[in-house]
Amino acid sequence: MPRYTDDSKERVRDAVDMIDLVSARTELRRAGANSYQGLCPFHDERTPSFGIDPVKKVYHCFGCGSGGDVFRFVQETEGVDFQGALELLADRYAVELEVEDEDPRTAARRRRRERLYALLERYAAYYARYLWEAAEAADARAYVAARGLDEATLRRFRVGYAASAWDHMYTRSRSAGFSDEELLAAGVVQRSRERGTLYDRFRGRLTFPL
C-alpha cells in the first residue's frame, strides 16, 4: 500500500465539506454559530445527542461517545481503514494524493506496525461487540450493570468480553490472514507448553483496550 504525504492528508481535510459529508448519513440542523445537531448515525436515538463543528470539521456524540475528524467519520460509516477513508474523500472532493518515498526497510517496519495495530484494533472491536451480543457474556453484563456502569460509558471506553473458548479469536484471526508469528508478537495468543499449539490469551473475562 502506498503511503500518502501528510500534506496530501491536510489538503483532503481542507477540501471536505463537513456538512455535506455528514448530511448523507443524518439530517442536520443548525444549533449555534459553529454547530449543527442531528440524530446520531452510530447509535439508535430519538433526540439528537450528535453534533458537528463544520469549521474544525469534527463530530461528537454525547450518547455513545463516538467522535473524531472527517477521516474517522468515513472509517466508521464506510467500514474502511484510514487509508481507505483518505482515498475515498480524495476521490469525492477531487484532491490528488501524493505518495511518499520510503526506503524498503522503513516501509517493511511500518507495514508490520500497521499489521499489529490492525490486529489489536480487530480484537478490541470484536470483544466490545461480544460483550453486548453474546449469550455467554450475560453474566458479565449483569456484573457491570450491578456495578452501576451504564452502557454508553462502557461503549465509549470500548470495554469488551473475551469469549471463553480456547481458540475463538485464534481461529478467526488466522482466517483473516494473520500469521502465528504476528499473533504472538501482538501478545494475543500463547503457546501451550505441552502440545506446542497456540491458544487465546484472553478468555472468559472483561477486556479493556489500551
Query: Footprint of Zn ion on this chain (CB under 5 A)?
Result: 40, 42-43, 61, 63-64
Question: Which residue type, as a one-letter code, is found at position 191?
Answer: R
Least gap, CB of 28 to Zn ion (angstroms): 14
CB closer to Zn ion out of 59 and 178: 59
Q: What CA–CA distances, in Å, run from 57 to 137, 147, 167?
A: 37, 37, 42
CB closer to Zn ion out of 65 and 204: 65
CB closer to Zn ion out of 21 and 40: 40
Least gap, CB of 159 to Zn ion (angstroms): 16
CA 188, CA 138: separation in Å to the nearest integer? 23
Residues 6 or more apart whose CB falls under 8 angstroms from that of 55 comprise: 34
Least gap, CB of 158 to Zn ion (angstroms): 14
Q: What CA–CA distances, in Å, run from 73 to 8, 42, 113, 117?
A: 18, 10, 23, 19
Least gap, CB of 47 to Zn ion (angstroms): 11
The strand ranges marked E within the chain are: 29-32, 35-38, 50-53, 58-61, 67-69, 160-162, 189-191, 198-200, 205-207
CA 113, CA 68: separation in Å to the nearest integer? 22
CB closer to Zn ion out of 26 and 190: 26
Joined grid coordinates for residue 4? 500518502
Question: Which residue type, as a one-letter code, is found at position 87?
Answer: E
CB closer to Zn ion out of 40 and 97: 40
Least gap, CB of 64 to Zn ion (angstroms): 3
Least gap, CB of 103 to Zn ion (angstroms): 43
Which helix (H) or strand (E) segment holds residue 83: the answer is helix 82-92
CB closer to Zn ion out of 1 and 31: 31
